[in-house]
């Protein structure tokens, strides 16, 4: 028998999503007992012995949940789209709740001296650097713009500055990083927030434990919205 059969495992990534999920967990009566920024542990105990948190890369959260390494997870809509999960479920993932945390947007940005509108109007073929290849491909295809996509994993702002790309598709929160690097946001592709995702098999097998968690998260989100 699996030693973790009675355990509820929640996958989170460090940083903003972790911090903004904590109040939702607290509303469900769950306190995470260690700070992942100060601990080397990747499995964190909580105030409820049957609930634990695992710390994984943001891009890996859907994979852990889909294949049963975690029962639930919190991840951005951008990550879910790149993972290939359709809204509402599919691929072993049930997506019951928009948690309305870690809000930002996916946008197109270029050097301040690049005439993006003119390039699009003239039908120019653009070089676009991004780690959001699926989102970028669909967006530009819908607009009828021909692009060569260059996959990068970080320091996206460097691509237009070094001539690697004409534009980038990236997450934007305040726009401060773009401004600091003389880039401007020229198109907003979609708004992003974090979703609760649940392993479909775990939801059936551990329904008595997982359903109340989902309901607690939903109630906390509703309270925040009405506040």
**How much is the pTM?**
0.88
Confidence category of residue 220, pLDDT binned at 50, 70, 90? very high
Task: Kindly list the domain boundaries of the chain, sorted by start residue.
Answer: 8-102+193-226, 104-191
Per the CATH hierarchy, to which homologous superfamily does domain 104-191 belong? Periplasmic binding protein-like II (3.40.190.10)
Give residue 4's pLDDT band: very low, low, confident or very high (50, 70, 90).
low
Which pLDDT score is estimated for 83? Answer: 86
Query: Other C-beta atoms within 10 Å of 129: how many?
Result: 24
At 20, is the pLDDT very low, low, confident or very high (cuts 50, 70, 90)?
very high
- Looking at residue 93, its pLDDT comes to 87
Distance between CA 2 and CA 197 in Å, rounded? 22
Phi/psi at 67 (5° precision): -100, 10
Mean pLDDT of 55-82: 95
Pairwise CA distance, residues 192 & 135, whole Å: 12
How would DSSP label each residue in 90-125? -TTEEEEEE---S-EEEEEEEETT--HHHHHHTTPP
pLDDT at 3 over 80: no
Sign of CA dihedral 153, 73, 69, 16: positive
Question: What is the pLDDT averaged over residues 179-193?
Answer: 96
Q: What is the CATH number of domain 8-102+193-226?
A: 3.40.190.10
The confidence score (pLDDT) of residue 1 equals: 37
pLDDT for 198 beyond 90: yes
Task: Provide the pLDDT confidence category of residue 144 given band limits of 50, 70 and 90.
Answer: very high
Round to whole Å and give the CA distance between 9 and 13: 13
Residues paired with residue 51 on neighbouring β-strands, in sequence order: 8
User: pLDDT digit string (tens) for 96-112?
Assistant: 999 999 999 999 999 99
Mean pLDDT of 29-33: 94
Closest CA to 166 of 128, 120, 122: 128
Tally Cβ neighbours within 10 Å of residue 54: 19
Q: How far apart, in whole angstroms, are the C-alpha atoms of residue 96 and residue 129?
A: 32
The residue-averaged pLDDT of 9-29 equals 94
Residue 89 has pLDDT above 70, yes or no: no
* pLDDT at residue 142 tops 50: yes
Task: Check for a shared fold between 8-102+193-226 and 104-191.
Answer: yes
- Buried b or exposed e, range 71-82, using 16+ CB within 10 angstroms: bbbbbbbbbbbb
Residue 33 has pLDDT above 80, yes or no: yes
Tokens of 15: 């940083």
């Amino acid at each position: 028998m699996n030693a973790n059969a009675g355990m509820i495992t929640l996958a989170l990534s460090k940083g903003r999503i972790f911090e903004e999920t904590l109040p939702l967990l607290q509303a469900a009566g769950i306190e995470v007992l260690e700070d992942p920024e100060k601990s080397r542990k990747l499995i964190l105990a909580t105030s409820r012995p049957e609930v634990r948190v695992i710390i994984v890369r943001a891009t890996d959260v859907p994979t852990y949940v889909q294949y049963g390494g975690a029962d639930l997870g919190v991840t951005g809509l951008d990550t879910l789209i790149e993972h290939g999960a359709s809204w509402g479920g599919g691929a072993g993932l049930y997506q019951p709740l928009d948690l309305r945390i870690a809000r930002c947007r996916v946008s197109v940005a270029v050097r301040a001296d690049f005439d993006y509108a003119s390039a699009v109007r003239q039908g120019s073929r653009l070089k676009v650097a991004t780690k959001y290849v699926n989102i970028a491909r669909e967006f530009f295809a819908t607009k009828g713009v021909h692009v060569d996509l260059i996959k990068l994993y970080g320091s996206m702002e460097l691509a237009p500055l070094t001539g690697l790309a004409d534009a980038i598709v990236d997450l934007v929160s305040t726009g401060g990083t773009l401004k600091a690097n003389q880039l401007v946001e020229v198109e907003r592709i979609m708004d992003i927030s974090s979703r609760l995702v649940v392993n479909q098999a775990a939801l059936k097998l551990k329904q008595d434990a997982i359903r109340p968690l989902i309901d607690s998260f939903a109630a906390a989100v509703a309270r925040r919205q009405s506040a």
